[in-house]
Structure 1
Amino acid sequence: MPVHRPVPTRRRRGTRLGITGTLLAALSLLLALPGAAQAADTPARGEAHMGMGVAEHDGVGSLPPTGGSVAAAQTEGVDVSSHQGNVAWSTLWNSGVRWAYTKATEGTYYTNPYFAQQYNGSYNVGMVRGAYHFATPDTTSGATQANYFVDHGGGWSKDGKTLPGALDIEWNPYGAACFGKTQSGMVTWIRDFLNQYKARTGRDAVIYTATSWWTQCTGNYSGFAANNPLWIARYASTVGTLPAGWAYQTMWQYTSTGPTVGDHNKFNGALDRVVALANG
């Protein structure tokens, strides 16, 4: 009777190689899809900064700010993050900038490596300065992030040169615009952050946001307007419509393409009003 021999090894290997090739081809097709390209463009955690989503969602304007819920006297300011590195604060001072905010933290996983140079440097040239926290409501609770912020540069002292901390709450650069929160869930998260920040520092935090995001993600909630100063982001010649409850903005980020480093802002009042906010 004939002897049945095993199938040669090379034929088995060829089958495996055929499957591998099919998988590689499928992977190549997946990588070519638009969704995959968007995922590749997602920044690394920690790279977010004020206004990161404003230009994408609300558009970019370069016209000088005029009118629209602003006082006759306005005071120029900047906000910076690790993207600006070591800042030449004397140059900014000489250009007329009198106040500044520096990113201190994000979530509970990131601190700005340039924070000391930026926060202390602005103070040392005479500016009134403050710190801000980039919120990630999908990672930890509002109270937890408020504590992290205060513990890593977001505190306050009544020295006439330290502004209350700012909560940067805007589009999620890492995923869903509203961080997976319902509108009521987002309001609760923000309230928890604000309450804990005040418990730790005695100050009401500033809220930085954009009207379109606030409307989409909080349902245009008006309940924080009585106590928390509004820092509105809108890159245009006017501030436009403000979120519900606020009759005016305290600060306005009007461009991300200013003549000097950082995003540029107008405080809605003269320098003495900036100092008044610092003193509480």
Structure 2
Amino acid sequence: MTAVKRLLRSTRTAVAVAASTTLLGAAAGLGAGTAAAEPDPRYAGAEQRHAGSQIARHEGVHGPPRYAMPGQTLGHDVSGWQGDVDWPAAVGAGAKFVYIKATEGTGFVSKRFAQQYDGSFAEGMIRGAYHFGRPDISGGAEQARYFVDHGGGWSADGRTLPGALDMEYNPYGEACYGKDPGAMVGWIRDFSDTYHARTGRHPTIYTSTSWWRKCTGDSAEFGATNPLWLARYAPEIGPLPAGWPTHTIWQFADRGALPGDQNYFNGAHERLAALAQG
């Protein structure tokens, strides 16, 4: 082989090696960049956030119910904040039902949802999923679809409650997510209508009377169709939002004998089963 040919072959080999090294480096850089991607700041704290976390912060905790609640059914609600729940112990402590956080906005699914949702069902409890509404991120219809697609659906098995929409103070800023009452009512309507179209059930609405009055103008639109899950940590349930003649569930404490927040269903166990059945 002549010196010229040896030089040409050496040059081609060096170029090929350099190109290969560049491609590998780029791939490694892409992989590193993907793995190191920062979490979406819009969901900071979502795993710890639960139904009522912002209500307790804004409205305070004023004591347990003044007296025993005859004819009521004891239950609770949990989220990723509780971690894996000991369901046999919860049932042993008197829990008959539970709502479990599934989703928030359109970018968060609780890491604990499967253990909590399936585990409670396995112990014979009536359970349902809830969605922490984020009107600052996307539309109500979009969030309802996300919720249903990530565990928030409903089945007529007599042990699955209709999904719940958690509407409470914005954890990141202005209480009403920058929406006026008309826009907020429209957002909730879009969520409710889309959930109903997907499941055949109207979602339960979780809220406090104070937030509802402030952010919806005390709308009476949903009282005839959507069960009310009212949050108030006080000796008495107090006034209800407009449109609801009575409540379905009262979240009366943010801690107690059961994991998570404490609730009473407003009726006997057979009425709770009827709500699940639809």
TM-score under structure 2 length normalisation: 0.82
SS at structure 2 position matched to 1:152: helix
For structure 2, list consecutive stretches of 5 or more residues without a partner in the other structure.
Answer: 1-42
Alpha-carbon distance in 2 for matches of 1:92, 1:170: 26
Superposed CA RMSD: 1.4
Note the 1:13-162 alignment, pairs <5 A: 44-64=45-65, 66=67, 72-162=70-160
CA contact (8 A) 1:154 1:165 kept: yes
Alpha-carbon distance in 1 for matches of 2:219, 2:72: 27
CA contact (8 A) 2:95 2:258 kept: no
Offset, 1:274: 0.7
Alpha-carbon distance in 1 for matches of 2:251, 2:149: 26
What residue is the counterpart of 1:193 in the other structure?
Answer: 191
Alpha-carbon distance in 1 for matches of 2:46, 2:110: 12
Offset, 1:65: 5.0
Alpha-carbon distance in 2 for matches of 1:176, 1:218: 14
Q: Which amino acid aligns with 1:209?
A: T
Q: How many residues align?
A: 236
1:274 is aligned to 2:275: no
What residue is the counterpart of 1:173 in the other structure?
Answer: 171
SS at structure 2 position matched to 1:153: helix
Identity of aligned residues (%): 55
What residue is the counterpart of 2:206 in the other structure?
Answer: 208
Q: Which moved more, 1:175-184 or 1:44-53?
A: 44-53
Q: Which amino acid aligns with 2:162?
A: P
Q: Which amino acid aligns with 1:103?
A: K
How far does the alpha carbon of each residue in 1:172-197 deviate from its partner, in whole angstroms, 9 at most, with x for none?
A: 11111000101100000000000000
Change in 2 beyond 3 A, CA 1:47/1:176: farther
SS at structure 2 position matched to 1:151: helix
Offset, 1:73: 0.5
CA contact (8 A) 2:77 2:100 kept: yes
Q: Which amino acid aligns with 1:161?
A: R
1:182 is aligned to 2:183: no
